Structure 1
Amino acid sequence: MQKLGETARGLGERAKDLGGKAKDVTKRSGELLEVARLKFDLNKLEKEMDNNLQALGELVFRRDKGEEDLDGEIDRLLQGTRKLDGEVKSLNEQIKKLQPKPLVCPQCKLELPAGGRFCSYCGKLVTEEKEEHNA
């Protein structure tokens, strides 16, 4: 009976561990989905910004050739482009916060390639727990 109780407790502990890991996986997949959405939004903003910059260049060139009454349109495009630039920077910061930080060898301080567990320079085993502790 005692052995059966110990086995049940052991299974209970493993189930708790798996439950915690499942929550981590769910959280991580949500973060990856959010990063994908943010990158999609970023791509749209960057295309819009490229269009604004191209239009600005054309307007400045036309003004240089002597065409008048373009200053208002140039100012409008400049303001819109500044706003887009701020939104692009904000999205880049959000993406940076959500993306995982690469593991760094605590001994050499070299960054490991994605998925790496051993330092390619000194061979030391690097784990996420150690990296989080050293961060």
Structure 2
Amino acid sequence: MKINQQLFAILGTFFLAVAIVYTIWTRGTEWVGIPALFALAGMQYMIAYYLRLVEKEYKTGVDDKDDGEIEEYSGTYGRFAPWSWWPLGLGAAAAIVVLGVAIDWWIFIIGIGAGLFFVTGWVFEFSRGQHKH
């Protein structure tokens, strides 16, 4: 956790320096990249601050120990369904959304509807009735 916190703090400092240099370089006339770079630096600092706040709630990770081994990372990371078709449909819906942005708004709306359908199906994939998990 400490390494991740330091990593995001370093990235925030880097993006802040890049934003300042970019502002000076463009003489403050470019109003898309300048706020985006400052926002990117702010997001990195927010993640570093969040990791610092939750550090006390979680036990020390393997990456925080000097003698930690890679094998200590092993374990269950989640429950995944290798037979699920919902992600494929969601990818197709995302492609339709991008196509709709390029062509016309009605295709975009169809893609959003398909995306909502596939996201809902993926979320409730393991639900077999009311309140079952």
TM-score, structure 1 as length reference: 0.38
